[in-house]
Amino acid sequence: MGELSIPKELQGTLGATSSSSEISSHLAFGIELILTFIYVFVVLSSWELRLPESGYYWPCCRALVIGITYSMNTMWGYAFTQASMNPARSLAAAVITSLDTTLWLVLLEVYVAGPVLGAVLSALIYKYIFATMAIRDRRRRKNERALNGDSSEEENMVVLQNIQSPVGRIKDTRDL
């Protein structure tokens, strides 16, 4: 397929990823998993910075934190696996360059299964451990502000609306 689109003498590797011959495919799988885990975790946790109630409202820092993380992952992992962290990038380059059929299993293990599993693990750990801690922390700070009398007018209006709800006016529950 690659021969049809680009002449062989100009083709080169076209960005095709390959792991170092010094490491096994299983170690390359682990490296891609860890790199993707770190990158996705930083992306997910950087969204906490956008919430004013989190106390860390620095929207300009999201891009900086994500960019630095991606750069550090690339610098660290390039010598081992060329730090793909993206299955689409690796698969597209392999299809275009007509990768040898014996290497497809390694490609699928290292550059598809590794990043996908790393991203899924990162999302699950963030959602069920770190996001729940952040929600509890936000509720605690909100309650502390309310106790100190520092709550905003909007929060007070919500409380007043809940007090004046029509459910409180119903005398008999059979009327529901």
Radius of gyration of the chain (CA): 25
Task: State the CATH number of the domain containing residue 42.
Answer: 1.20.1080.10
b (16+ CB within 10 A) / e for 58-97: eeeebeeeeeebbeebeeebeebbbbbbbbebbbebbebb
Q: Which residue has the higher pLDDT, 33 or 102?
A: 33
Establish if 136 belongs to a structural domain: yes
Query: Which of 31-35, 53-57, 136-140 comes out lowest in average pLDDT?
Result: 53-57
Establish if 124 belongs to a structural domain: yes
Are the beta carbons of 59 and 145 closer than 8 angstroms? no
Establish if 176 belongs to a structural domain: no
Give the per-residue pLDDT at 91: 82
Give the per-residue pLDDT at 69: 93
Establish if 175 belongs to a structural domain: no
* pLDDT over 90 at 68, yes or no: yes
Establish if 74 belongs to a structural domain: yes
Establish if 174 belongs to a structural domain: no
Domain that holds residue 78: 2-169
Establish if 26 belongs to a structural domain: yes
- Whole-angstrom CA distances from 33 to 18, 39, 44 are 15, 10, 16
Q: How many domains does the chain have?
A: 1
Q: Which residue has the higher pLDDT, 97 or 158?
A: 97
Q: Which residue has the higher pLDDT, 173 or 69?
A: 69
CA 89 to CA 167: how far, in whole Å? 57
